Amino acid sequence: MFKKILIANRGEIALRVIRAAREMGIQTVAVYSEADRESLHVRFADDDVCIGPAPARESYLNIPRIIAAAEITGADAIHPGYGFLAENAEFAEICAASGITFIGPTPEQIRTMGDKAAARATMIANNVPVVPGSPGPVEDVDDALGFAVEIGFPVIIKAAAGGGGKGMRVARDADDFARSFQLARSEALSAFGNGSVYVEKYLDRPRHIEFQILGDTHGNCIHLGERDCSVQRRHQKLIEEAPSPAMTPELRKKMGDAAVLGAKSINYVGAGTMEMLLDEDGSFYFMEMNTRIQVEHPVTEMLTGVDLLKEQIRVAAGERMSVTETPPLRGHVIECRINAEDPARNFQPSPGKIDVFNLPGGNGVRVDTHAYAGYTVPPYYDSMIAKVICQGRDRAEALAKMKMALETFIVQGVMTTIPFLGRVMDDPHFAAGDVHTKFLETDGAYLLKEPIP
């Protein structure tokens, strides 16, 4: 087992890794930017190294500095968290070349799944259903339009290297197409340095359903149930829950089998997520695989009792994962992401000093956060400041707990999405579990518009 893990990340996920490592008797190293000097991950790690100025390019994305920090502190493994370098195959290679274990899948697995067009092709070759579309990247606008006409409008043009909702454009008809295509391509180029795009049918009211995968180097590969992440704004997840209100045991078996088949086809090792779309008619399609721990992993941890971070560490050290069959799913779990954003100002980030910070609690309530009273939310990074996860015996109980949790989560000094999320909990469609990825553009649109007291 590892002696010392360096965490190449910040915020709540850095704390989450520190907790898992500490429980396993492993030492930790925090790296931090000048903007994160007062962060809890720096305080709670055994060792810490400042790796540069605030901009991520010069700190959390600076590979030579992170490797140097690992070497100086004697770390034998690096956990990348999510975001930053988590899905950077070159970083995983450099770790290996430096004699440091990258806690995650192999560079090859990251590369195959990181290119969404290549991932699609891999799934097609293994009979996992994918959204109808071009088999691979398209050559140019005419080639792309050809596929669009063949599969029928509306279509979505997606960056092969895409992520975080960037590099995606919907085209409603042929007139709209050329413009959307150019926009997607230029956004892909500027965000990912890679203008490769492909075309997919745009589903009207799908649910986003993803399966948590866990695999090890001893040939085990299972899923740990699904998460329904349909409540999104601009393709970004706001609320996740499990089980999906749309799930049946039969559908879980079919989708879960497909997810595991897809992961096994690349001999996946570690924690990963197979993201799928479930259409209104019950068809489901592979969308992409995320080769890392995800923000919403606590939903699965509460539902199954499996500590996914510890499993990641075990598997990376070459040990067997501690569960080899899908565990029983216990009750219902809902997660809300709390962002320092102002819903009244189009969700623009609201950095600054937190004066009052009262956390919710109680039976079945988990909060993962790096914030505290007196903490200053820096303007440089993601605006998420906390995740609240509530578990009940059934969905109604989980929902009631979440309402109470949001009511008693008091943050002053910065604006947050807490009041907005509280209103979503009260919405009759959400309360009935009747949502899809366009919910906040259709039935739920009023939730984004109404002034929040």
What are the residue numbers of the active site? 292
The single residue among 135, 152, 165, 282 that binds ligand ADP, judged by CB under 6 A, is 165
Tokens of 353: 């000093």
Position 40 contacts ligand ADP (CB under 6 A): no
Residue appearing with tokens 């697995």 = 109
- Cβ proximity to ligand ADP, 235 vs 353, nearer residue: 235
- Rule CB under 6 A: which of 285-314 touch ligand ADP? 287-288
The single residue among 74, 135, 152, 164 that binds ligand ADP, judged by CB under 6 A, is 164
Strand arrangement, sheet containing 47-52: 47-52, 27-33, 4-7, 77-79, 101-102
- Cβ proximity to ligand ADP, 162 vs 413, nearer residue: 162
- Cβ proximity to ligand ADP, 288 vs 311, nearer residue: 288
- Rule CB under 6 A: which of 209-248 touch ligand ADP? 232, 235
Residue 333 in contact with residue 364, Cβ under 8 Å?
no
Position 437 contacts ligand ADP (CB under 6 A): yes
Report how many residues bind ligand ADP under the rule CB under 6 A: 20
The single residue among 129, 163, 331, 364 that binds ligand ADP, judged by CB under 6 A, is 163
Q: Which one, of 1, 38, 37, 46, lies nearest residue 19 by Cα?
A: 46
Q: Helix %, strand %, coil % for the chain, to 5?
A: 35, 30, 35
The window from 38-46, 198-206, 326-334, 400-408 that contacts ligand ADP (CB under 6 A) reads: 198-206
In angstroms, rounded to a whole number, what is the distance separating the alpha carbons of residues 69 and 75?
A: 8
In angstroms, rounded to a whole number, what is the distance separating the alpha carbons of residues 426 and 406?
A: 12
The single residue among 12, 48, 115, 275 that binds ligand ADP, judged by CB under 6 A, is 275
Compute the CA torsion angle 336, 337, 341, 343 (nearest 10 deg): -30
In angstroms, rounded to a whole number, what is the distance separating the alpha carbons of residues 148 and 150?
A: 5
Residue 320 in contact with residue 372, Cβ under 8 Å?
no
The single residue among 11, 206, 225, 413 that binds ligand ADP, judged by CB under 6 A, is 206
The single residue among 4, 10, 79, 208 that binds ligand ADP, judged by CB under 6 A, is 208
Nearest distance from C-beta of residue 58 to ligand ADP, angstroms: 25
Nearest distance from C-beta of residue 202 to ligand ADP, angstroms: 4
Position 203 contacts ligand ADP (CB under 6 A): yes
Tokens of 453: 């007291």
The single residue among 48, 200, 226, 335 that binds ligand ADP, judged by CB under 6 A, is 200
In angstroms, rounded to a whole number, what is the distance separating the alpha carbons of residues 449 and 430?
A: 17
E-strand spans in 58-116? 77-79, 101-102
Please, what is the end-to-end C-alpha distance for the chain in angstroms? 52
Chain residues in the site for ligand ADP (CB under 6 A): 131, 156, 162-166, 200-203, 206, 208, 232, 235, 275, 277, 287-288, 437
